[in-house]
């Protein structure tokens, strides 16, 4: 499955956004910044869910590297486009059969698995094996998490605001009043992002130096799982 637009990481953000706008397989939802309505937010995601989404990510490197697990753009008052937030690249489960291929006890084409799973073998391991073959090192991290809603938090210096997002929807807040403005919109698409933002504001009360945190999260994002109210 190929996209109707050809993204490359080397292109500038304005060009990237223009290509995404033309891609019919990509969903774009426009919203506004409540405290600065001349600014617009564009939340981007694939027009697919579950297995079909995995298939699109597996067969399209540009989707994996560009759209990832969450992407939002900010259109400034002068029309300039910047990245509001970009999540982690889409990751996939490692099947036990893949290790049989790596240690030479099986051929990939002989495995009794779906073609998309064979494609995923290359997505997961091709770069890793190339690095190892060239004498490089690969670090593997094992993480544990409860199953919940993907949660992302970053800081945007243009708006001087926190960006709180679920996988597909981002909101920008400076304080509880801004959060209440999103509640007043009564749009269901914001429901998880509002819960994540509510939790983030509670966590901020425990942070002494917000300026240092803003600096640390400019161009970076905290990514976790929202598993319910715990504060």
pLDDT in tens, 191-215: 999 999 999 999 999 999 999 999 9
Q: pTM of the prediction?
A: 0.85
CB 162 within 8 A of CB 153: yes
**Dihedral, 65, 59, 140, 70 alpha carbons, nearest 10:** 40
pLDDT at position 4 is 38
pLDDT by residue (tens digit) across 28-69?
Answer: 999 989 999 899 999 999 998 877 888 888 889 899 989 998
pLDDT at position 180 is 96
Say what angle helices 115-133 and 50-59 make with each other, to 10 degrees: 40
pLDDT at position 143 is 73
Structure tokens at 197: 């933002």
CB 84 within 8 A of CB 152: no
C-alpha 71/C-alpha 26 separation (Å) is: 11
C-alpha 212/C-alpha 210 separation (Å) is: 5
DSSP, collapsed to helix, strand or coil, labels residue 224 as: strand
Question: DSSP class of residue 87?
Answer: -
Measured from the Cβ of residue 170, the count of other Cβ atoms closer than 10 Å reads: 30
C-alpha 63/C-alpha 123 separation (Å) is: 12
pLDDT at position 89 is 86
pLDDT by residue (tens digit) across 212-227?
Answer: 999 999 999 999 888 8
CB 3 within 8 A of CB 58: no
Best CA proximity match to 31, nearest among 189, 218, 221: 189
pLDDT at position 145 is 67
pLDDT by residue (tens digit) across 93-133?
Answer: 888 899 999 989 999 998 988 888 888 899 899 999 999 99
pLDDT at position 6 is 47
């Amino acid at each position: 499955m190929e996209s109707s637009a050809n993204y490359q990481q080397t292109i500038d953000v304005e060009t990237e956004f223009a290509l995404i706008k033309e891609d019919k397989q990509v969903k774009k939802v426009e919203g506004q910044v409540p405290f600065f309505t001349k600014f617009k937010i564009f939340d981007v995601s694939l027009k697919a869910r579950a297995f079909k989404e995995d298939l699109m990510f597996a067969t399209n490197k540009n989707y994996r590297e560009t759209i990832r697990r969450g992407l939002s753009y900010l259109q400034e008052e002068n029309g300039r486009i910047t990245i509001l937030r970009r999540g982690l690249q889409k990751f996939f489960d490692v099947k036990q059969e893949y290790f049989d291929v790596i240690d030479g006890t099986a051929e990939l084409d002989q495995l009794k698995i779906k073609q998309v799973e064979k494609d995923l073998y290359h997505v997961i391991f091709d770069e890793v094996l190339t690095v190892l073959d060239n004498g490089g090192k690969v670090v593997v991290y094992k993480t544990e998490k409860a199953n919940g809603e993907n949660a992302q938090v970053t800081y945007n210096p243009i708006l001087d605001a926190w960006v709180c997002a679920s996988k597909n929807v981002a909101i920008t807040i400076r304080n509880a009043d801004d959060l209440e403005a999103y509640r007043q919109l009564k749009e269901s698409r914001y429901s998880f992002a509002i819960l994540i933002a509510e939790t983030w504001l509670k966590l901020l009360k425990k942070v002494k130096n917000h300026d240092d945190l803003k600096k640390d999260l400019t161009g970076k994002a905290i990514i976790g799982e929202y598993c319910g109210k715990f504060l």
